[in-house]
Structure 1
């Protein structure tokens, strides 16, 4: 039976890099964000329901979710965020289940679920064998996101404030990879070490 590992970390923690490394080590990767993006792309499975709930203003001319507008709205209005999640989460769950079955059929030793909101959702803990948290100092998160996205520091901090706190993530962790001040080679060493504990 394959290990099921939930991977999470705050924005700018380096979670995506760790995920890529785990994939290279032979893990099957279930990327909830990628599935969500596909559901909200032009022609995606969530678009009709989003348009009905939020209105056509939240759909771009090419038929995709207007991410910037929705992000601003959802961060300002917790009910809107819950409504959006009620549309998207069942679709993500169904597609995740399909991908898991494909990985099990292929006999992979480990399935990694990339779950940005693992701690916040509350439902994932029971569905994974281990929780792997990629951690770094909040200031490092801000600096990385500003450098890669051009967002203002206060905008990054607002995103961080809407996520689980660092303390909450660490409390949920079975394994922590500290990604502060590491070279890619050093980070890879830590990932290899963690991966060995679940069969990779």
Structure 2
């Protein structure tokens, strides 16, 4: 099984593309899903955020106030780095276990939806290909303002906190341009999926994994036989 990284800029339509990929029966492991999961009340990251940022970023019931926290970290790069140090290890741990499950289910490849793929660089060495979802800058700004109900200044601040779309596109294996209608985007996704499904790279990985497991089992059996023979001889 090989891993494909999916990323893009904020409000470029990455979630739309990931849903289109799921329609082909391809597992998509979403970092945003696990980002919400790891900060549930009582969990390790939740406790550390409380220690680092205080009660001001929590609702009265104990749930994390994501909007309040976002206001802080988008204004202060050091606070943003502190939050990433707290949450990212927990997120990647959850995503790794999800990927292992997909491997044993026999999927030839999976997609990991990673908003900060290139910014952090953590997963790049584990990815076979990368997909970037892009759109026109004015459209990105408009979508973000409408989606988050924020001013143009705040929207630009959030967009500026990420690597530029041009730079992400230069690093990508595939680019899905999401400025047009849904059918246009769907056609681009279909072409990318077709290329990935035609790839046989996963057989190399499975062969290596099979040989490793076979070798490990053989070693365990050999040690077991040696131990048994030793016990018989000792009698």
TM-score category (smaller protein): over 0.9
Structure with more of its chain in helix, by fraction: 2
1:149 and 2:148 matched: yes
* 3-state SS in 2 of match to 1:74: helix
Provide structure 2 residue ranges, at least 5 long, that are not aligned to the other structure: 199-235
Structure-2 residue corresponding to 1:170: 169
* 3-state SS in 1 of match to 2:197: coil
Structure-2 residue corresponding to 1:72: 71
C-alpha deviation, 1:41, in angstroms: 3.0
1:192 and 2:190 matched: yes
Contact 1:58–1:65 (CA<8 Å) still a contact in 2? Answer: yes
* 3-state SS in 1 of match to 2:5: strand
C-alpha deviation, 1:159, in angstroms: 0.6
C-alpha deviation, 1:144, in angstroms: 1.6
Provide structure 1 residue ranges, at least 5 long, that are not aligned to the other structure: none
* 3-state SS in 1 of match to 2:196: coil
1:160 and 2:156 matched: no
By relative contact order (CA 8 Å, sep 6+), the higher-ranking structure is 1
Structure with max Cα Rg: 2
Structure-1 residue corresponding to 2:118: 119
After TM superposition, the runs of 4+ consecutive aligned structure 1 residues lying more than 4 A away are: none
* Separation (CA, whole Å) in 2 of partners of 1:43 and 1:29: 27
C-alpha deviation, 1:45, in angstroms: 3.8
Structure-2 residue corresponding to 1:94: 93
Contact 1:170–1:176 (CA<8 Å) still a contact in 2? Answer: yes
* Separation (CA, whole Å) in 2 of partners of 1:45 and 1:193: 41
Output the TM-score relative to the length of structure 2. Answer: 0.80
* Separation (CA, whole Å) in 2 of partners of 1:73 and 1:147: 21
Structure-2 residue corresponding to 1:40: 39
Contact 1:119–1:168 (CA<8 Å) still a contact in 2? Answer: no
C-alpha deviation, 1:149, in angstroms: 2.8
* Separation (CA, whole Å) in 2 of partners of 1:124 and 1:12: 22
C-alpha deviation, 1:59, in angstroms: 1.9
* 3-state SS in 1 of match to 2:112: strand
* 3-state SS in 2 of match to 1:27: coil
* Separation (CA, whole Å) in 2 of partners of 1:40 and 1:195: 33
Output the TM-score relative to the length of structure 1. Answer: 0.93
Structure-1 residue corresponding to 2:220: none
